[in-house]
Every structure is written in C-alpha cells, then in structure tokens.
Amino acid sequence: MLAPVAPRVRLRPTMLSDLDFVVSVEHDPRNLPFITPWERTQHEGAVRFPDFRHFIVESGGAYERSGFVILQGCRNPHGSVELKRIVLQDKGRGVGRACVRQLKAMAFGDLRAHRFWLDVKSLNARALGLYASEGFVEEGRLRESVRVRLGGVDGYDTLIVMSMLDREYQARLGLGCEAGAEIA
C-alpha cells in the first residue's frame, strides 16, 4: 500500500491586509460552532503584540491561504505556550495535522516552551481526535463553560484542556512521531 503523501503546508506571519480573510474564515458557519470568534481589533492586537504569534496557513500546490493559527503565551515566564486558535477552510486533508506538527516544533524549539497546551470543546470530535493522536494529553475538563447553539437549541459545552510537556515532545521526536514538522 502506498504511504499517504503529507500535504504541502507552510505558516507565514499574518499581515494586517490578511485580516478580512481571517475574520471571514472565523465567521464561516462550518467553523463557528467550534470557536469563539474575536473582534477584528483582537486579531490586530495579536498580530502586533509579541506575546502572540499569528500565522496564515498556506497549503496546496500554489500555497493558497487556507486558514490561520494563533499562539499565545510566547513570552510566558513559565514557558507555558497556548495553541490559542487553529481554523482551516481546507478540512480533512491532513493540513491540520501538518500545522499542529509545525506548531509543536515552533513551541518546543524557537519558543523553548516547557508546556504546550490548548482547550477544545467536547463536541469537536475531529479536533479532539487530531490532538490526541498528536500526543496531547487530557489535563482536565471545564464543565459546561461555553455557551453553544446546536440544531437551534441553546446549551453549554464542556472545554477539555490538553497539553504536551517538553520531555514528552522529545520522546516523540526520538520515536520518529514528529516527521514532517520542518517549518517551511
């Protein structure tokens, strides 16, 4: 059987001229159930403030814009870096996995993180599956902490906090689990 080919994915710093794209991706009805969208000014702040890294995801043969990612806590004194947001238009083709690998390499490499963490809604089976298979460990649950509207019904969802520690990342590297994480 042929091994699947990893998609071409690269991250480049978001420019203010990308923010119309960022806001439109964030407000896409396919993405809204899984995130809490920001005001444009919050994105502007994240582009400018050194505690954040805001990137456009480019993928495919022509490296088209296909989403964005945000890291927060890049100057955190405890070395705790957060994968604040990842939103892709191009879903289910391995782009998310490639981004998460590149972000881990950035967090534990350039940013010298001790802990790389995120939270994810319990209804987000795809993201949960991706993070677990990329080695993130569940730390705990913030029960019914976010409002959601599903099928026209209002309710609450639980946030699941997941993380990876630097020694766990090093172990994955040693086992060859982080292939393809070269930052383009």
Binding site for ligand COA (CB under 6 A): 31, 34-35, 86-88, 91-97, 120, 124-127, 129-130
Inter-CA distances, 117 with 29, 80, 127, 139, Å: 26, 7, 14, 9
CA distance 178 to 116: 15
Of 82 and 111, the one with the shorter C-beta distance to ligand COA is: 82
Of 133 and 170, the one with the shorter C-beta distance to ligand COA is: 133
- Residue 63 Cβ vs ligand COA, minimum distance, rounded to whole Å: 16
CA distance 61 to 82: 30
Contact 103, 70 (CB under 8 A): no
Exposure b/e, 130-163, CB count within 10 A at least 16 = b: bbeebbbeeeeeeeeebebeeeeeeeebebbebb
Of 155 and 167, the one with the shorter C-beta distance to ligand COA is: 155
Of 76 and 124, the one with the shorter C-beta distance to ligand COA is: 124
Q: Which among 55, 63, 65 is positioned nearest to 8, based on CA atoms?
A: 63
Is residue 24 helix, strand or coil? helix
Of 19 and 161, the one with the shorter C-beta distance to ligand COA is: 161
- Residue 31 Cβ vs ligand COA, minimum distance, rounded to whole Å: 4
- Residue 75 Cβ vs ligand COA, minimum distance, rounded to whole Å: 22
- Residue 80 Cβ vs ligand COA, minimum distance, rounded to whole Å: 17
- Residue 89 Cβ vs ligand COA, minimum distance, rounded to whole Å: 8
